[in-house]
Structure 1
Amino acid sequence: MFAHGLHRLGERVSSRSARPWIALVCGWAIIAVLGMAAAGEIARQDARADLARQADAAAALHAAVLRSELEKHRSLPVVLSQDPEVVALLSGVASGDADLVSAKLETVANQTRAAAIYVLDRNGVARAASNWRQPTSFVGSDYAFRPYFRGAVQEGEAEFFALGTVSGRPGLYLARRIGSAAAPVGVVVVKVEFDALEADWRSSGEPAYVTDSRGVVLVTSVPEWRFRRSRTLTPAEREAILADQTLSGQALAPLPFDSETAGAGRVVRTAVGGPASDWILSQTETDTPGWTLHLLDPIGGTIVANVWSARAVAGLLATLLAVGAGVVLRRRQQAMAKAVAEEQARAELERRIDDRTKELRAANGKLSREMDERRRAEASREVLREELVQANKLATLGQIAAGVAHEINQPVAAIRTHADTANAYLDRDDPEAARRSLGRVAELTGRIGVITDELRAFSRKSTQGVSAVSPAAAIDGALLLIGGRLREGGVELVRTGDAELKVQAEPIRLEQVVVNLVQNAFEAMTEAGTSDPTLTIDVAKKGRRIEIVVGDNGPGVDAAVAANLFTPFVTTKSAGLGLGLVICRDIVAGFGGELSLRPAPTGAQFVISLKPAA
């Protein structure tokens, strides 16, 4: 089983789809390794450059402190070489007192923190010294062999770093000649020791040392490095240094690191008060000729941290690049797989289409027949709807026939009476009176014509489209048909509203709706035996709509029936079919309006809400 799994894995790896992924992984590994190596090296160089700049700044600061210390003491030989008491002592004048000068030198040394101040005569013998009270007093000692004495006599001034012949302590000797070069009378010497300065350097944690022009360490924060050399010396140089600076043969050992090839900004490794560690070596020139200040700035983990950070970023970028490439590759493979799947699905679909062509044709034919039947059914439904509206209209005419007959019978009886009256006037030879009677007959005939015209118009099927219609005119036509019944039933008619408003509707159908609503109100009040029956018709504009409100003071609509009032075959009449309001609502909806029942304190209120005519 394990061998079979390895075989399948090998097949999968060797498959065509796996090759790009293998190439991607290999490319990612190569780019990541190279990128991390390059980024690490760049970060190493940058970190080293930053540390070197910091070390240079620190070295410049150390050099400034050294310069300040030396400048403070360099003025002493100049001042003392012009002191009258010192000059008198060396010139052999009787007033010169060695103890007095020594006391002065002692005071000056205490105030300036100089290690020692002494005065030599022209032969190099100390005549006065600041340590004249101590057992190691320089008074009477011969320093003619010292290079600083010879240099001061010859050049006027000299500086020399060496071990003290008496104290054995290292220091810088500042010497200045008293008198002219042709007739020198002596030399003033100030010895400067750097213990306090070296202690300050030591406390900073950055080893520092100063070398002279021959590479010998003179001032240092590491006492073990003093009088070591930073470069290789010739035998002659070695002998001269040992003699001049009164050093032993054990001095001039090399520094404990490769200082000869390690220039400024280089990394050196040495132990300073602990285990060996890496340091950045920086150096700067000082104001003292031939002196160079060197500073070791600790590296610690700065470079390593920067290198690893840069490598991590480079590795992350390479990984993100690989992930992006992987996403693109995956999408490309998915697109290719989708294209192949779509091609296969298309082929399969074509095959299925070919297999099912006959079934689809049969289904299509069946669907076409069903659509034709549905269109015929829709046409039949529309015809039935129109027939139902017309039937409702005719049924309404049948219900109002008695009232219309009453409206016609009265003018017909009056016509007969006026006709008989006209004949009588003619028999009496009164043509004017006969003419008045005949005129009245013509008026009554016109009234009958208006009623019959309204009946004919109401009974015909509506062929007009939606147009601007006056609700007042529609109400007038409806009342012309049903007004007789209202008067016979003793119903008080109250009409209010704006007669100038116009709505979008079909005039005959709007009249039909009003007739239905007025007749329903009349029948509701009649069946309930309402005393003082009152019918109100109001036309008013409400917001963006125009409302025709038909109300009565009858019994109203039962709440149980009101919810389904516009449902077919729901009615409150004992002999009603429940289709009148349904038909009226459909007619109003055809105008783009709405028919609804509005709650009222007494009776019922039906509201026809229509769009105003533009």
Structure 2
Amino acid sequence: MLKQKATAKIKARYAFVVVVVLCVVIGYAAYRQIFDREIEKETARHRQNLETVSLSINATLSKYEELPLAIAKDSRIHAALEATATDKTIAQANEYLAEINRILGTDTIYIMNRDGLTLASSNWDQSDSYVGDNYSFRPYFKGAIESGIGKFYGIGVASGKPGYYIACPVFVGGQTLGVITIKIRLSEIQSAIGEFNDYLLVTNEDGIVILSSEASQLYKSTRLLSPEARQKITATRQFYDQPLDAFQFHGTALTIDDDNERQLLNGEAYLVQSVPLGGRGWDIVQISRTREARTFALNGSGAIGFAAGFLMISLLIWYYRRAAHREKLEIFANIETQIQDRTIELTAKIHDLEKAESILKKTRDDAVQAGKLAVLGQMAAGVTHELSQPLSAIQLYAGNTKKLIECGNLPLACENIDSINALVTRAGTILSELKTLYRNDETRVEPIALNTIIQNAVLVMNPFIRKANIRLDIVGLDALVMSSTGKLEQVFINLMSNSVDALALLPDGVIEIRCTRIKDSVVVRYADNGPGITESANDKIFEPFYTTKPSGKGLGLGLAISKFIVDAIGGKIECHNLSTGGLEFIIVLRHADKPT
């Protein structure tokens, strides 16, 4: 038997190891499936965003493409390109180009003859003037002469500033006299890219970064440059003296090409994807974190792995229980004779148990009845305590109202009558709540405005507070707390009643109520500057029938009922003496926004 049990334990351990391994495998497979699906969703969403950005950038650049042709039609441009051009015609062309450049907000506008020599420019009067420079080596000049339009991104040879060049030929009488070029600053596009939360960059046809949300990555190469490409860049002086180093992202080399529009980087921590930008051969690339996809996949795979493990463990438990059941059947078959011999004895014991159960049931019923009688006794004391404050307040209001009517002050008398009505309603609510407590109904907890609760309690206690010449200082909080209608008001009434008794003989009594929000809770600090309580009394302050007041001044139920109410609505209440003198109660309530 012992050998069989040892073998069963070994098998159970092996089965547990197999379950763990299977859970890991299933979890990993689920992770891959969920992660790949989330990456597909993010890719589609990012592609839509990138295409929108691409359209915006392309539209910004395209609006300038027709401008060179329009400017080239001006007679001053024609006169400057004629072989008979004079200093005056050149000067007029310079002034015209400067004025147009100012209006359009472009970087530079200039004209070149058929040999690429700059004859007039909008920056003719500046230190980096293009006049006299030859740009026949630039691709935009060749494109304009050969195909009617030239487009090119590069760093200015004279200015050292990057820009986008658009060039068109200047025709007069069917002959090409030269080329007009507009240089556009891309600073606005650069600023817009820099505002994106994700890493965004634009590469040209050779994979060189020409715009980036991270300035340190400008002019880095995102693909391996062929010797022909490097020779072309050098010949056109496209990037001046930039080294064109390989693009590095967080220490990892990144290659972006047309055959690999989407890839994962740094252990799948980043998603890299690109879309074409218009027909220029450029691409716009976005590098975004995959944290949300990985977190979602981890949570999903963890849940699936846990569910699979739970199912397999349940099956193992079922299997071992069936095996144990079969073993028990075998044992029962061997002791069938013994069972028959003990049947009479067991029958007698069952009879005894039934008799004991009947006695226990009667004892339990007697205990329940005794509990009800005890509750009735406490309820009688509670009714007296709960209704004492509202009835006393009504008595004071009624006396004042009579005097006000005799004095002819009817508006203030009406206000007192309204207060009496409110207190009568409050007394009715207290009776209803005590009736509910006696029936042992479930406390209905719902969102209630904290300021309203405090003001209702002040309404009851205000006559006593004013009579005792006590200053009431309340800093409320416009917040909803989880409470039960009429119950939390009784807590504050009990506290104010105790404070009135404690401060009655003090000339400068103060009651302070401070309400603050801390995370998902609302903390109410109720304090007075009375004598406080002893350390021994602090341990028993919330016990029923315990009181520090003189005989006949209280039953010791107020704070016990208050603690019962606060506990019933899911809060906490405690008290301590203040170092400056007085007693402070701290009531922690659930904020209505806190999930249950």
TM value normalised by structure 2: 0.51
| Partners of 1:181 and 1:279 in 2: CA distance | 58
Deviations 1:548-581 (A, max 9, x none): xxxxxxxxxxxxxxxxxxxxxxxxxxxxxxxxxx
**Does residue 1:318 correspond to 2:308, yes or no?**
yes
Hey, what does 2:154 align to over in structure 1?
A: 162
Task: Give the secondary structure class of the aligned counterpart of 1:266.
Answer: strand
| Partners of 1:138 and 1:352 in 2: CA distance | 119
Q: CA deviation at 1:279?
A: 2.5
Hey, what does 2:262 align to over in structure 1?
A: 265
Hey, what does 1:133 align to over in structure 2?
A: 125
Q: CA deviation at 1:13?
A: 4.6
Aligned residues with identical type, % of pairs = 20
User: What amino acid maps onto 1:60 in structure 2?
Assistant: E
Hey, what does 1:231 align to over in structure 2?
A: 223
Change (3 A) 1:248 1:92: closer
Verify the 8 A CA contact 2:157 2:240 in the aligned structure 1.
no
| Partners of 2:139 and 2:343 in 1: CA distance | 118
Change (3 A) 1:154 1:324: same
Hey, what does 1:211 align to over in structure 2?
A: 203
Task: Give the secondary structure class of the aligned counterpart of 2:64.
Answer: helix
Hey, what does 1:118 align to over in structure 2?
A: 110
Change (3 A) 1:269 1:323: closer
Task: Give the secondary structure class of the aligned counterpart of 1:145.
Answer: coil
| Partners of 2:216 and 2:293 in 1: CA distance | 28
Deviations 1:247-277 (A, max 9, x none): 455522221123157922212349xxxxxx9
Hey, what does 1:295 align to over in structure 2?
A: 286
User: What amino acid maps onto 1:313 in structure 2?
Assistant: A
Q: CA deviation at 1:12?
A: 6.8
Change (3 A) 1:298 1:117: farther
Task: Give the secondary structure class of the aligned counterpart of 2:21.
Answer: helix
| Partners of 1:143 and 1:250 in 2: CA distance | 19
Q: CA deviation at 1:105?
A: 2.6
| Partners of 1:151 and 1:352 in 2: CA distance | 111
**Does residue 1:87 correspond to 2:69, yes or no?**
no
Change (3 A) 1:217 1:266: same
| Mapping for residues 490-505 of structure 1, pairs under 5 Å | none
Q: CA deviation at 1:166?
A: 1.1
| Partners of 1:297 and 1:30 in 2: CA distance | 33
| Partners of 2:109 and 2:75 in 1: CA distance | 16
**Does residue 1:196 correspond to 2:188, yes or no?**
yes
Uncovered stretches (5+) of structure 1, i.e. residues with no partner: 1-7, 271-276, 355-614
Task: Give the secondary structure class of the aligned counterpart of 2:181.
Answer: strand
Hey, what does 2:484 align to over in structure 1?
A: none
Change (3 A) 1:242 1:228: farther
Task: Give the secondary structure class of the aligned counterpart of 1:259.
Answer: coil
Change (3 A) 1:99 1:149: same
User: What amino acid maps onto 1:325 in structure 2?
Assistant: L
| Partners of 1:317 and 1:247 in 2: CA distance | 58
Change (3 A) 1:246 1:329: closer
User: What amino acid maps onto 2:318 in structure 1?
Assistant: V
Task: Give the secondary structure class of the aligned counterpart of 1:159.
Answer: strand
Hey, what does 1:304 align to over in structure 2?
A: 294
Hey, what does 1:49 align to over in structure 2?
A: 40
Q: CA deviation at 1:326?
A: 4.0
Deviations 1:26-47 (A, max 9, x none): 3322321211121222233223
Change (3 A) 1:306 1:67: same
Verify the 8 A CA contact 2:140 2:165 in the aligned structure 1.
yes
Hey, what does 1:186 align to over in structure 2?
A: 178
| Partners of 1:315 and 1:153 in 2: CA distance | 67
| Partners of 2:15 and 2:28 in 1: CA distance | 20
Runs of 4+ in structure 1 deviating by more than 6 angstroms, as ranges, are 93-96
Change (3 A) 1:304 1:12: farther
Change (3 A) 1:317 1:164: same
Hey, what does 2:65 align to over in structure 1?
A: 74
Deviations 1:424-449 (A, max 9, x none): xxxxxxxxxxxxxxxxxxxxxxxxxx
| Partners of 1:19 and 1:305 in 2: CA distance | 37
Hey, what does 1:329 align to over in structure 2?
A: 319
Task: Give the secondary structure class of the aligned counterpart of 1:187.
Answer: strand
User: What amino acid maps onto 1:72 in structure 2?
Assistant: K
Hey, what does 1:103 align to over in structure 2?
A: 95
**Does residue 1:281 correspond to 2:278, yes or no?**
no
TM value normalised by structure 1: 0.50
Verify the 8 A CA contact 2:137 2:235 in the aligned structure 1.
no
User: What amino acid maps onto 2:104 in structure 1?
Assistant: T
Deviations 1:471-527 (A, max 9, x none): xxxxxxxxxxxxxxxxxxxxxxxxxxxxxxxxxxxxxxxxxxxxxxxxxxxxxxxxx
| Partners of 2:230 and 2:107 in 1: CA distance | 27
Deviations 1:61-113 (A, max 9, x none): 22122102111211211211223332233236779843443333333323333
Verify the 8 A CA contact 1:154 1:181 in the aligned structure 2.
no
Deviations 1:269-297 (A, max 9, x none): 49xxxxxx943111111223322222222
Task: Give the secondary structure class of the aligned counterpart of 2:34.
Answer: helix
| Partners of 1:202 and 1:216 in 2: CA distance | 18
| Partners of 1:351 and 1:160 in 2: CA distance | 107
Q: CA deviation at 1:348?
A: 2.5
Rg comparison, structure with higher value: 1
Change (3 A) 1:341 1:269: closer
Change (3 A) 1:107 1:268: farther
User: What amino acid maps onto 1:266 in structure 2?
Assistant: Q
Hey, what does 1:32 align to over in structure 2?
A: 23
Q: CA deviation at 1:58?
A: 2.9
Verify the 8 A CA contact 1:102 1:130 in the aligned structure 2.
yes
Change (3 A) 1:344 1:191: same
Change (3 A) 1:68 1:309: same
Change (3 A) 1:23 1:237: closer
| Partners of 2:210 and 2:247 in 1: CA distance | 12
Deviations 1:154-178 (A, max 9, x none): 2211112221111111112110001
| Mapping for residues 519-530 of structure 1, pairs under 5 Å | none
Change (3 A) 1:34 1:285: same
Task: Give the secondary structure class of the aligned counterpart of 1:252.
Answer: coil
Q: CA deviation at 1:338?
A: 5.3
Verify the 8 A CA contact 2:128 2:159 in the aligned structure 1.
yes
Verify the 8 A CA contact 2:155 2:161 in the aligned structure 1.
yes
| Mapping for residues 419-434 of structure 1, pairs under 5 Å | none
Deviations 1:236-256 (A, max 9, x none): 431221120254555222211
User: What amino acid maps onto 2:305 in structure 1?
Assistant: G
Change (3 A) 1:203 1:67: same
| Mapping for residues 167-566 of structure 1, pairs under 5 Å | 167-179=159-171, 183-248=175-240, 250-256=242-248, 257-259=253-255, 263-269=260-266, 278-299=269-290, 301-329=291-319, 331-333=321-323, 335-336=325-326, 339-340=329-330, 342-344=332-334, 346-350=336-340
Q: CA deviation at 1:125?
A: 2.7
Change (3 A) 1:238 1:182: farther
| Partners of 1:125 and 1:177 in 2: CA distance | 14
Deviations 1:456-480 (A, max 9, x none): xxxxxxxxxxxxxxxxxxxxxxxxx
Change (3 A) 1:278 1:336: closer
Verify the 8 A CA contact 1:73 1:114 in the aligned structure 2.
no
